[in-house]
Amino acid sequence: MAKIVMGIGSSHSPTLLMKPSAWLARAATDDQNFFVLHDHSGARVSYGELLEKADPAILNEITPDKLEQRHQQNQVAVARLAETLNEVNPDIVVIIGDDHKEVFHDDNMPALSVYWGETIPYRPTGIMKWKYDPDLDQELWYPQEPKDYPVASQYAERLIRGMMDDGFDVAQSKYFKDQQAMSHSFGYVYYKLMTEKIYPSIPVSINTYYPPNNVSPLRAYRIGQSIRRQIESWREDLRVVVMSTGGLSHFVVDEAFDRHFLTRLAAGGPDIHAELPLKKLQSGNSEFRCWSALAGAVDGMKMDLIDYIPCYRSPAGTGCAMAFATWS
């Protein structure tokens, strides 16, 4: 029978694919942030309001030495996950991610979708297209050449049918239109985690960002439970890794909130997901839901937190907090 042999949770922020000079280039536009800024209570605020109330100690987080330290921590953690995935060498990888209007738009924004084409296209569009200062080092950035990646199509179809029987209304895609390309929540996995081998995948997308049909954390957890039930119902002897990408707090770093969540996540169970305050899950913080979905799939397995790295980029406390963990 098929079995989940490991869970992997990772941030997927563009920060992971940039050197600190590019972090600062992004910080220079934080007062024009497209996704808007929210303080630690979840209230929408301006950059100026954040800056006025910011802890002066944040200045110590954006010195050249500290930025380089955080950058190196990120690279070590990503490499550790890639190495772990290669050691496990699964037959299939189920990837849970969210979309940033790279695939789905306001004309069709599903709460839950599974891709089941034979291959999934990678195209350097949207967030994955380099759009920062051309003088900045692009060495770490997403490849700018198109490519197609294999999908475990047969099992993706089974997953769709099984989750429908489980009571979930699953949208499905067998191909993308010419102007569409996979979300960077999946592109990150293929580029940075599947470094030794490209594994057949099942891309599962949940809507975290966009009301009114973004899933609740508890609903995401239940989605993860359903994914696990379906995998374990397959009679073939398959070793499956389930991973999710996204988060943690951004575009304003909230270390206390992140650390509390990670502690409760390690304890397992649905309670933390039922209790997460929706007001705090605005903008980038919405991606906590991706971790909730993973938690449902790996509940009962032991969590190993590889690293938690708060990556500030401005004196107002803007940035993105990175987390990397495995379950076995």
Q: What are the tens digits of pLDDT across the range 205-249?
A: 999 999 999 999 999 999 999 999 999 999 999 999 999 999 999
pLDDT grade for 284, boundaries at 50, 70 and 90:
very high
Please state which of the four CATH numbers 3.40.50.970, 2.30.31.70, 3.20.20.100, 3.40.830.10 is assigned to the domain occupying 3-327: 3.40.830.10
- Assign 135 a pLDDT band (cuts: 50, 70, 90): low
* Element at 114 (helix H, strand E): strand 112-115
Position 75 pLDDT exceeds 90: yes
Share of the chain above pLDDT 90, in %: 84
* pLDDT surpassing 80 at residue 83: yes
- Across-strand partners of 318? 252
Indicate the SS3 state at residue 206.
strand
pLDDT higher at 72 or 131:
72
Q: Burial level of 137, CB count in 10 A (0-12/13-18/19+)?
A: exposed
Question: For the ranges 173-177, 200-204, 213-217, which has the lowest average pLDDT?
Answer: 173-177
User: Whole-model pTM?
Assistant: 0.95
Q: Please determine, for residue 134, whether its predicted confidence score (pLDDT) is greater than 80.
A: no
- Report d(CA 201, CA 8) in Å as an integer: 14
Please give the Cα distance from 111 to 220 (Å, whole number): 10
95-104: buried (b, 16+ CB within 10 Å) or exposed (e) per residue? bbbbbbebbb
Query: CB–CB of 240/4 below 8 Å?
Result: yes
Answer for the pair 328, 303: CB distance below 8 angstroms, yes or no: no
Q: Return d(Cα 314, Cα 32) in angstroms, integer.
A: 13
pLDDT at residue number 327: 98
Contacts of 112 (CB under 8 A, 6+ apart): 163, 168, 169, 170, 171, 204, 205, 206, 207, 215, 223
Check pLDDT > 70 for residue 33: no
State mean pLDDT over 91-96. 98
pLDDT bucket at 267, cuts 50 / 70 / 90: very high
Q: Across all residues in the chain, what is the average pLDDT?
A: 94
Whether 31 has a pLDDT exceeding 90, the answer reads no
Stretch 305-315: mean pLDDT? 97
Pairing mode of beta strands 303-312, 318-327: antiparallel
Give the end-to-end CA distance of the chain in Å, rounded to a whole number: 18
Bridge partners for 33 per DSSP:
none
Distance, in Å, from the CA atom of 155 to the CA atom of 143, rounded to the nearest integer, reads 28
